[in-house]
Amino acid sequence: MNVLTSGKNLVFCILYCIVLVTHSVSAQVYEAENATLANGAVKIASAICSGGYYVSQKDGALHFTFKTDTEAYYNIYIQAASPNGAKTNIFSIDGFSTQFTLSQNAAFVSQKIVSAQKIKAGVHSMSITKSWGWIDIDYIKLEMTSATERFRLEKVPVTPTPTDHTMRLYQFLYDNYGRKIISGAMTLNSMDEINWLKSNTGKEPALIGLDFMHCGRGYTWYNNELPVNDAKKYYDRNGIPAFCWHWRDPSRKTEAFYTKDTSFDVSKINDTTSVEYKAMLKDIDYISGLLKKLQNYDVPVLWRPLHEASGGWFWWGAKGPEACKKLYRLMYDRMVNYHGLRNLIWVWTSQLDDKTWYPGDDVVDIIGRDLYKDGDHSSQIIEFNRLNNDYEGRKMITLSETGSFPDVDNLIADEAAWSYYMPWYGDFVRNSKYNSLALWKKMFAHDYVYTLDKMPDLKSYTTPVTGTGSLNSGPNQQLIVYPTFFTDEFSLISGSELGDVMVFDISGKIVFKSYTKSMQTIIKMTEFEPGIYFVKAQNLEAVKIYKQ
């Protein structure tokens, strides 16, 4: 949305009396004192600040306009201080908005607020507006960066020795990240939204959202096997089952999961002798049994426990990050190492600015964002870039829940690489206030969007030879490895002569070495022990591979 032409923002432009900031684009620094100030924001002289001034935002706002001559990717930084405590405010560029939080600091420090933002040639607008207000701003800086540096994804899941089908699903997600998006829909009752979409669009989403909410509670009206059966049914059709768990009060004193409705104390996770600890462990063991049934069926699962924890509205987030992280890591250890679950791809839900809640790279495969912006079908590119920056491009990022989902044209134009999108059940699927039937049909018809009928056979999936290769390297300088999960052999392709090819074990020892003048070769590793290896050719980045 262009704030200079949008009717909604015309009033904004008049109120803020937009002026063109005179700094050249090559300088890429936009002084706060040269912005249009409003609602009490004031310019204050300071010998220590760039340009000799800073702006005390108070309850006000700053608005910049600037011009770029060429399209490029930029990291955006703010040089600011927050002397009155931690403060959250809103940064916007060309109609895209995101929140950022400054920790308490009387000194002016630089903080990245947007990562790898694509900015086209032309006139643009930036704003800092109040959420809490009361920060001091020296300048905004735009720093050009390369799109090829956006992603440094892990090539194998965090679960040790994942099942064959789990690794193939992970490989499918990896191969399509940033190239396509996977459509999804959450269900409340068995296949309800899936069937509605089939009846009204002629197609079904590639991913089905399921919940263990009613399982293990002794409800006579509910079949605990229902979500397991639905997951198996959909996977057998090459669909992807994604599970969350609205975990009801483990003490059984209530049937609640919201903090306001239960006094269950998650901090008792620190006391292994407590009744609460034993109750949590008992529930984890029960759900592990259901997931084990799916493993016995050879069904992999996107597993998203303890979602939206940092919001605090669920009991697992009511006592702060440390108790929640300990519960998550206990669950991972119990499920993976005690129950032997090897069919899980672990998804952590971030609510932005909540890195202190993150349980760790070693127990998370995918970062989810639950985002509800009614009627907003923009790409949410700033949200995506913020998360990608927070997790340093190491993890795939997804819209694990949405109200209104992004229009495919916006996803492609902004290069927002969300792995999948999953609107919640009910009105979020069916009501045009959130997502129109025309938009559903548009999404399902587009080549960029996976629907169930477009899915490959996930049980035998390998990286296509014609694929574009690793996301970690530039054009003609990439090392394509397929499959990265293999039994006896794998293939290498490069845009130039491979030269010296080496395979290292996990300790760094060279276990295989050869030389070829070809741009393509096959490496046989039939006699090698199963495990993680790294393959490298020329000066290209090493690729992690897994021998089953």
Residue 291: other Cβ atoms inside 10 A = 21
Active site annotation includes 31? no
> 7, 115 in Cβ contact below 8 A?
no
Residue with tokens 């399509």: 176
Token pair for 309: 């924890």
Taking Cα atoms as reference points, which of 516, 462, 510 lies closest to residue 490? 462
Q: Give CA–CA dist 126/96, Å, rounded.
A: 9
Token pair for 483: 């499959």
> 467, 175 in Cβ contact below 8 A?
yes
Helix (H) or strand (E) holding 430: helix 427-430
Q: Give CA–CA dist 285/398, Å, rounded.
A: 28
Token pair for 382: 């700033």
Active site annotation includes 154? no
Token pair for 488: 């006896």
Sequence letter at residue 470: S
Q: Give CA–CA dist 271/282, Å, rounded.
A: 15
- 5's CB contacts (< 8 A; 6+ apart) are none
Question: Taking each helix axis from N to C terminus, what angle separates 275-296 and 321-333, rounded to the nearest 10 degrees?
Answer: 40
Sign of CA dihedral 399, 402, 408, 410: negative
Q: Is the link from the previous residue into 423 a cis peptide, with omega within 30 of 0?
A: no
Q: Give CA–CA dist 501/518, Å, rounded.
A: 11
Q: Give CA–CA dist 123/67, Å, rounded.
A: 4
Compute CA 548 distance to the chain's CA centroid, rounded to the nearest angstrom.
28
Which residue of the set 149, 308, 383, 415 is catalytic? 308
Q: What are phi and psi of 21, to 5 degrees?
A: -65, 135
Q: Give CA–CA dist 237/128, Å, rounded.
A: 48
Length, in residues, of the chain: 548
Residues involved in catalysis: 308, 401
